[in-house]
Chains A and B, each alone.
Chain A
Amino acid sequence: MAHSPASAKHSTRTHLESFKILTRLSNAFSKPHAAFVAFITAGDGDTAANLDALAAGGADVIELGMPFTDPMADGPAIQAANLRSLGAGTTTADVLQIAYDFRARHPDIPLVLMGYANPMIRRGPEWFANAAKGSGVDGVICVDIPPEEDDALGPALREQGIAPIRLATPTTDAARLPQVLEGSQGFVYYVSVAGITGKQQAATASIEENVARIKQSTDLPVAVGFGVRTPQQAADIAKVADGVVVGSAFIDLVEKFGQEAPAKLQELTTAMVAAIKDARA
């Protein structure tokens, strides 16, 4: 890496910082309304400006996608964002730098990296966990590391006080759920549809039922994503869950508006957050 956010200059970070990492996420889910979790892909467009727009719009948690050549769980919108980012030359060092700079500008907004196993473990899980910590990352969602393969990344993250955030899905049955929750930290990401990102919309009734089922087994907050595109959908979910994740709708704006995207992202975030706040009123 040309410059390393994980290098010695940050090694003086103290236990206070570890404490901050855990509290940033829990604070985001301790508000009177459901947390709004906004996803964009790192390196697709002017990411710093786009992230600032999500923050200005009132996003409670930022999910920063790490681009990968083979995003198996993603629909066309996020696939294309991955390829645009990689086509522009985005490296792992760039993603960590984007996170580091975001943390410097926004000390209190939790930041979660989301992506696939291979870029995360390429230099070893300890390297990645250490680098993510140095960049002020609060949690990591790895799509293709299920609990059965937790050894590949989980212990290294927990060692650094970074939350491994697991996914639960409609196919995660009662027998399996405890295994998914074991070792999971920060929040649980409930994937509302059996499918890829950005496509279908799940029925609110099924979401309510599944979120309730998960919450019976854990004290962790439950955020719901996949297929959420409009403020109305977000509001419906906010009534029954602790958080709402929106990704593809933002990615579409980044693709469509390019350098003009920040204003549009802020506008959509503001609308989403307003709808979420009204939902439980």
Chain B
Amino acid sequence: MPDSRGHFGDFGGRYVAETLMPLILDLEREYRAAQTDPAFAAEFDDLMKHYVGRPSPLYYAERLTEALGGAQIWFKRDELNHTGAHKINNCIGQILLAKRMGKTRIIAETGAGQHGVATATVCARFGLPCVIYMGAEDVKRQSPNVFRMKLLGAEVVPVTSGGATLKDAMNEGLRDWVANVHDTFYIIGTAAGPHPYPEMVRNFQSVIGTEARAQMLERLGRLPDLLIACIGGGSNALGLFHPFLDDADVKMLGVEAAGHGLDGDEHAASLLGGAPGVLHGNKTYLLQDEDGQITEGHSISAGLDYPGIGPEHAWLKDSGRVEYTAVTDEEALDGFQLLCRTEGIIPALEPSHAIAAVADRAKQMSEDQIILMNLCGRGDKDIFTVAEKLGVEI
């Protein structure tokens, strides 16, 4: 848990413009009230079950396990959720909070479009107008998701400032929020931003780990030896890891995007290749130069392509509780194809990074050991990118 000011050790906090501070404090008060309100939990659980389709299955990947030869590999199947990724868990939680606070307009940022689609989905479900900020570059690269958002009734605003990618979309979201504090709720898509967002998003996503832990105990009567998840902002990883943090024998591995390699500038590994700093309302590891100017991340996966990371990961790294590694674009592509062919599952490029790490670790472990990986998204959105990388015309 963060302290009362939202600090995870040195990280986190509320580094926002004064205009937003009263709103952030208001949000925290309302969230605390919701946490102890059985009616809020009941509505969240009901939507999780009947709208999202939870609990998601816990699946033993038998052929992948055989192919790799080592630890048993299990997947938490969050790619089977409504909208195809873990993002919806958080959006359901936040829109219920928005409704509770009497907010009448929703804004969000999106990179690859998954969080944008999930936000547009819950806005349609609850009948609230929705504005999604998306980097103009990403609008071009992710046109199917742009169309999905529009079908769901959202207004998609291409952001041309800065590098026209996810961080610029987040800047624009904050600018909108500052000008519309009276009626607008900002649904942040990952476990980052000013307190209480990192804690709140992690808690909404913890449904992943809570289910997986119970499912493991029920199916196998034991806990896994190693948890693995990919990390952009880090919400799916925290969702899986957090309910296991007190289980000292369960090791955890977070997988960042190494892009073209950590030795160059073209990666999105904030923890392994960045330094602590302040951006978008929190103190955390950032990709930045020696003057504190933020540098652009690169990854084959637009969902990991962010120059920061949730502050709780920064803290878990420095405390040593979670190990972090990074996987290149090439390795992720190999992981993507491996899963398609061994298990008949087309994964998103984000968890394909985790699959590459699974392949590496499983071989170093014995057959009686268990790896549990969060398969946080499906790959329909990525087939164009993959085809291009593989030199295939479709």
Q: Which of B280-324 contact A (CB under 8 A)?
A: 280-281, 283, 286, 288, 290-295
Tell me, in angstroms, the Cα distance from A92 to B291 when the chains sit together. Answer: 6
Question: Is A171's CB under 8 angstroms from B19's CB?
Answer: yes
B14 contact from A86, A149, A176, Cβ within 8 A: A149
Supposing A70-B162, A148-B13, A195-B179 touch, asked if A122 and B292 sit within 8 A by C-beta, the answer is yes
Indicate if the CB atoms of A117 and B290 lie closer than 8 Å.
no
Q: Is the interface of A mostly helix, strand, loop or mixed?
A: loop
Q: Are A117 and B293 in contact (CB under 8 A)?
A: no
B7 to chain A, nearest CB (A): 9
Interface residues of A in 109-124 (CB under 8 A from B): 116-122
Q: A202 at the A/B interface (Cβ < 8 Å)?
A: no
**CB–CB B17/A118 < 8 A:** no
How extensive is the interface on chain A, given as a class?
35 or more
In contact, B178 and A119 (Cβ under 8 angstroms): no
A148 and B288 CA atoms in complex are apart in Å by 24
Asked if A143 contacts B17 (CB within 8 A), the reply is yes
- Beyond A83-B162, A148-B21, A172-B22, whether A72 also contacts B174 by CB under 8 A is yes
In the complex the two chains form, is A70's CB within 8 Å of B292's CB? no
Residue pair A118, B292 in contact (C-beta under 8 Å): yes
Interface residue B217 (Cβ < 8 Å from any Cβ of A): no
Main SS of the interface on chain B? mixed
Per the 8 Å Cβ criterion, residues 172-220 of B in contact with A are 174-175, 178-179, 181-182
Q: How many residues on the B side are at the interface (Cβ–Cβ under 8 A)?
A: 37
Q: Is the CB of B286 within 8 A of A118?
A: yes
Partner of B288, one of A75, A118, A120: A118
- Distance in Å from the Cβ of A174 to the closest Cβ of chain B? 11
Is A205 positioned at the interface, with any CB of B under 8 Å from its CB? no
Complex Cα–Cα for A191 and B179 (A) = 12
- Look across to chain B and name the residue whose beta carbon is closest to the beta carbon of A169: B19
Interface residues of chain B, those whose CB is within 8 Å of chain A, are 5, 13-23, 161-162, 167-168, 171, 174-175, 178-179, 181-182, 277-281, 283, 286, 288, 290-295
A–B complex contacts, Cβ < 8 Å, 30 sampled: A69-B295, A70-B168, A72-B17, A72-B175, A73-B17, A79-B161, A86-B293, A117-B278, A118-B293, A120-B292, A122-B292, A144-B15, A144-B16, A148-B13, A148-B14, A149-B14, A149-B15, A152-B13, A166-B18, A169-B18, A170-B19, A171-B18, A172-B18, A172-B21, A176-B21, A176-B22, A191-B18, A193-B179, A195-B179, A199-B179
